[in-house]
Chain A
Amino acid sequence: MPSDPLILGFDTSAAHCAAALLRGTTLLESRIEEMAKGQAERLMPMLQEMLARHGAGWHDLAALGVGIGPGNFTGVRIAVSAARGLALALGVPAVGVSTLEAQALGLPRPLTVAMDARRGEVYVQHFGPDGGPALMALDQVTGVQGALTGSAAAELAERLPQARVLPAVQPLPEAIARIAAQRRTLPLPRPAPLYLRAADACPPSDPAPLILEG
């Protein structure tokens, strides 16, 4: 039905430009272009081309979904900044969707999503009665309930042999678009990056001298 809302989801939180277009609940297209760099140049033309392939333009969009991480800090900011600019210009909601949540979409609960965070750490979220996203050392993740999914699931399963590993139900951009479609009418804050890891910043090593009065 042409009156169904058009939803665009996109993500640059990893080494890719990813996007998916939904008409209502029907997936029109999902696409992931792998790239180590150049996401800032490629993202907007890629979205525009996708809209055009389905006879649509920016103004036909009813909502945006954007991946807010966790993931590459700069990559997350590329998509989030574009989404906030687009939302302001189009007057449509931009829904921030965590990549942990996106990977959990459609999988049975309880479920633990674990993503490789490098440096021997993982981004983890338990989807059950309680559980927010967290950054943990790989060897601190114990007692996983339910199945495991995500890029660090296989590695965790080696340590926790009782855990079953499940693949994601749909590609990341499609999941982001579907979650955005579900939430677009809710009052939501503007999309903001979900970093989980603190910025590298050290206080100065050289203390200021003692000031002598008089």
Chain B
Amino acid sequence: MAQTLTFLGIESSCDDTAAAVVRLSDGRAEILASVVAGQTELHAAFGGVVPELAARAHAEKLDLCIEEALLRANLPLAALDGIAVTAGPGLIGGVLSGVMCAKGLAAGTGLPLIGVNHLAGHALTPRLTDSLPFPYLMLLVSGGHCQFLVAHGPERFTRLGGTIDDAPGEAFDKTAKLLGLPQPGGPAVESEARQGNPKRFAFPRPLLDRPGCDMSFSGLKTALLRARDAVVLENGGLPRQTRADLCAGFQAAVADVLAEKSRRALKEYMALSPTVPAFAVAGGVAANAPIRAKLEAISAEVGARFLAPPISLCTDNAAMIAWAGIERFQSGARDGLDLSARPRWPLDQNAPAMLGAGKKGAKA
């Protein structure tokens, strides 16, 4: 296949406004430009992403990011073969802005429009970076998501398990907040944990006693809060070393849960007898070095290749959306100007809902 495809990707499902240009040429993918405008400062005072503030920022930044990406790629819109946009799941205000901006671009240029599942963007990243063949095992672990997926094809995923409540990234953010550390919590807690003793506080490892790959992190968050409150009550504040010990204990608990559940997921995956076994991680939590090291070791135990994309492609970005758009386009997918933005959109439509299993259906 000597076909060359150049796609614009647009991402606005959480608190990063992003645009990227990705080219597939002779079977090789290249990121020509990737622009990410974050909103950390906008939400800093509120201890979490405020959906309305995020939506307001996206609406006025999207076209600027797109122009910047095209400028860096040194390409006009006319040089593109398609426009891919995150159509869900995520914060609906931001997703809507992205989808509408993409529709305007597609209508005005006559280019094909491809709606992309944000999670598929993460899950297909190992193919963007390493041309990884299907099927591979994927752990998607971020501030909003935590699930094990077997990727069989660009639009075919089987979920082996996932969190039944909070995502680990959210737990890291909450931990940072409870301990007076800055947001985003992941890097702050990781850095603090380096000075801490992971054994001083005994935090729970939820659901390890149960079979399967499902996880739970909300109890861990509560346990951390109780431990903090006990220390503050005793000392009238939180001693710096104790804070480091709490971070180390918390991080070790998350790492242990992810490691053990990865072991089980790998066992299920290896039973499929993949020709080139591989275990890939994506999402912001994959940037955590101790967690990454633990997962790598477990992958090595079963002889599966371990892949963790560079941090800039682990966290939210639009290169992964452009790439997922190319993969969908190649499989014949096209969307119309009536494309819907979907706040909830599970990748594995057949798996039973784990989150938000109300009348609106599964979240992810």
Contacts and interface: CB of A to CB of B under 8 A. Distances in A.
Contacts of A192: 59-60
Contacts, number: 152
Interface string A84-105: 1111111000000000000000
A36 interface: no
A75 B93 CA distance: 10
A73 B97 CA distance: 11
A209 interface: yes
B62 interface: yes
Interface of B: 45-48, 50, 52-53, 55-56, 59-60, 62-63, 66-67, 77, 92-93, 96-110, 177-180, 228, 232, 235-240, 243, 336-341
A70 B341 CA distance: 23
A40 B100 contact: yes
B99 A40 contact: yes
8 contacts: A40-B340, A41-B338, A77-B93, A81-B97, A84-B101, A85-B108, A89-B105, A211-B237
Given A88-B77, A89-B77, A77 B240 contact: no
A66 B157 CA distance: 40
Nearest to B339: A41
Nearest to B340: A41
A173 interface: no
A203 B55 contact: no
Interface stretch (A114-122, A138-146, A163-171, A194-202): A194-202
Size class of the contact patch on chain A: 35 or more
Contacts of B45: 203
Contact of A82 (B55, B66, B103, B109): B103
Give the one of B92, B105, B179 with max A CB within 10 A: B105
Contact of A86 (B46, B107, B177): B107
B46 A201 contact: yes
A91 to B, nearest CB: 8
B107 A199 contact: no
A193 B63 CA distance: 14
Contacts of B53: 199, 201
Contacts of A195: 56
Given A89-B107, A204-B46, 12 more contacts: A40-B100, A73-B56, A73-B93, A77-B93, A81-B100, A87-B108, A88-B104, A89-B106, A200-B52, A210-B237, A210-B238, A212-B240
